[in-house]
C-alpha cells in the first residue's frame, strides 16, 4: 500500500499532507476571524463615542449611569487586545505547521515561536482578569444590558497550555541542537 508522504510540499509551499492542509486552512480562517472581531470591537468603540448622546440615552433606559461609557469602551478595548494577541498565537502556530510541512520542525525559530506563544497565552490570561471584573459589574446592573460573557477570569486550562508551550519550546530547542550536532558529525 502506498502511504502519502506527510512531509511533502507542493511547489508553492502548500503542504500535500491533508491534515496539515486542513489545519493550515483552519488557522488562516481563525486569523481572519480575529482580524474581523478586533476590528469590530474598535469600530464599536468609535461608533459609541460618535453617537455618544444616543448611546447614553440607551444606557439610561437600562438604568446604567452615563459615566459607564468609559468602562464599556475599556471592556471592548480589552476584548480587542485579547483577540489581537490570539491572532499572533495563531500566526506562530501556522508558521510551525508550515515548517512541519517543509520537513524542518526542529529549528531554533520554532522553539522561539513556542516560547512567544506561551507568553502570549499568559498575557491573554492576565487581560481576562479585568475583563471578568467588568463583566461582573455589568451583571450587577439593575437591568442587565445585552452583554454576555463566558470568561471566569484565569483559566487553569490556559495556564496549563502556557506551561506545555514553555516545555515544548525547550524540547524543540534541544531537538534543534541535537540535529545540528548530528549534521556536524556526518
pLDDT band with cut points at 50, 70 and 90 for residue 48: very high
What is the rounded distance in angstroms from the CA atom of residue 15 to the CA atom of residue 101?
5
- The predicted model scores a pTM of 0.79
Residue 112 CB neighbour total at 10 angstroms: 14
Cell digits for 8?
511533502
In the prediction, which pLDDT does 154 show? 76
Give residue limits of the domains in the chain. 18-185
User: Hey, is 58 helix, strand or coil?
Assistant: helix
In the prediction, which pLDDT does 1 show? 40
In the prediction, which pLDDT does 4 show? 44
What is the rounded distance in angstroms from the CA atom of residue 35 to the CA atom of residue 42?
11
In the prediction, which pLDDT does 179 show? 84
What is the rounded distance in angstroms from the CA atom of residue 93 to the CA atom of residue 91?
5
Q: Which of 21-35, 81-95, 127-141, 162-176 has the lowest mean pLDDT?
A: 127-141
Amino acid at each position: 500500500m502506498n502511504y502519502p508522504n506527510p512531509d511533502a510540499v507542493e511547489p508553492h509551499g502548500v503542504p500535500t499532507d491533508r491534515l496539515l492542509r486542513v489545519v493550515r486552512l483552519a488557522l488562516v480562517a481563525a486569523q481572519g476571524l480575529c482580524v474581523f472581531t478586533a476590528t469590530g470591537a474598535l469600530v464599536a468603540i468609535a461608533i459609541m463615542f460618535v453617537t455618544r448622546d444616543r448611546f447614553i440615552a440607551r444606557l439610561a433606559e437600562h438604568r446604567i449611569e452615563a459615566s459607564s461609557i468609559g468602562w464599556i469602551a475599556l471592556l471592548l478595548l480589552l476584548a480587542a487586545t485579547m483577540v489581537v494577541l490570539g491572532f499572533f498565537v495563531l500566526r506562530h502556530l501556522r508558521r510551525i505547521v508550515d515548517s512541519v510541512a517543509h520537513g524542518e520542525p526542529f529549528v531554533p525559530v520554532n522553539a522561539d515561536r513556542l516560547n512567544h506563544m506561551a507568553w502570549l497565552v499568559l498575557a491573554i490570561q492576565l487581560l481576562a482578569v479585568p475583563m471578568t471584573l467588568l463583566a461582573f459589574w455589568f451583571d450587577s446592573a439593575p437591568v442587565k444590558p445585552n452583554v454576555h460573557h463566558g470568561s471566569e477570569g484565569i483559566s487553569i486550562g490556559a495556564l496549563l497550555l502556557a506551561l506545555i508551550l514553555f516545555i515544548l519550546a525547550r524540547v524543540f530547542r534541544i531537538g534543534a541542537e541535537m540535529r545540528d550536532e548530528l549534521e556536524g558529525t556526518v
